Chain A
Amino acid sequence: MDFRFTDEQTMLGDSLARTLERGGDAAAVFELGTGAALLPEEAGGFGGTGPDVLMVFRTLGCAAAVTPLLDSVVLGAGILAAAGEGALAEAASTGGARIAVALDEPGQRYDGTVATRADRGHLTGEKAVVHGAEDASHLIVLATDGLHLVEAGAEGLAIRSYALIDGARAAEVTLKETPARRLGDAALLDRPMAAAILALCADALGVMETAVALTTDYLKTRKQFGRAIGSFQAIQHRMADLLTEVEQARSAVWNLAGHLDAPDRDRHVAATKSLVGRVALQVAEETIQLHGGIGMTEEYELAPLVRRLLAADARFGDSDHHLERFIVLGAA
């Protein structure tokens, strides 16, 4: 029973935190070797375990940093490595290539329904909310027969990009007889998707920690009725409940990190995403309430944190979706 990180993991976390504190951008984050830390050795990296993912993404979340690491490396390079595309996976892990993964389609809601068809090396279909599509050098597209690789600028590929609430960008992607190369079965997604959900949850944990710290400071300094509002019991008890829930979220993230390559991984994915999604929304709503009006302003630094927490629940299946998954897995 050992909950400690390795020295390498701690060192990477520390230098990543320092880089972000100095205002380092995505390029600076790649330069630290963060991408390689998210990939296993056989894919050209030096990590990729649950604790590696936890350390990196909790740190990114604490700083609310926007990077392509989740989509391009954990998910994109993870799929490529599993498909034996080592060179491209390695390029993605250093930031040299940028991968977007197109899974969802219009008209479906977390149910994995796919209508996009492959026909003699060409894809036709529509993909929804594809993160990082406009900056991608390659897209990985899920079709009825499995996963395919599409190059940016390929014929028949149309990308309509838009901003997301968490500062990232996504796109509606249309493919019309677009040339593509098949990578393999949809099952190639399983481990990278579990790792991506861990990354998202660890990121949310970091965001929650920052939001709670921000709120604590505010409660100590904001005065009403002649005293700090944090001295009121109604406020204290809400904050104590919130901290207790964040502690639950922390343990849920640790559970998934510790079981990412265990036989019961899927059960932990469902449990963790369900719990973290629920707590993320609670932290978002409570920290606004505890701040009062200032917590609703765009100018104040809580705003991006709250929106990032909403995004964490809504991506890859929300808390209800994963609660249902947990029930189905338990009955099987």
Chain B
Amino acid sequence: MAEQARYLKPLPHLDEENRPWWEALKRHELYLQQCRDCSAMRYYPRALCPECLSPHTDWILSNGRGKIYTFTVTYQNTAAGFREFLPYVLAYVELDEGCRMLTNIVDCAPEQVTIGLPVAVVFDDVTSEITLAKFRPAP
């Protein structure tokens, strides 16, 4: 509980549908899903393929690399957990595997962030239960 009190940002709610994905993140592995029947890739994880409703899913381990599709430097957010850390960079990263995921760009000055910038995943263990996939400029 003490840890929860320190970490004020929203945490994801784990359920039977998404738990394997979050448990993989905790092991510092980022996965996408691919439909075994129609081959459609998807992010975020779901039990069924939204294209063909197939329940047959392959889990694809991402190489954790991609580039910035778009971003914004957030200077104002009154919500607890964010107002203490302004400014921060909110971005969509397009992974090498094709999916675009919402995330934060970290470990660099906001002025360095540009669309198209190559980035690599950073696993941020925000609590003992939850790890978030953030990104930083690729070396």
Real binding pair: no
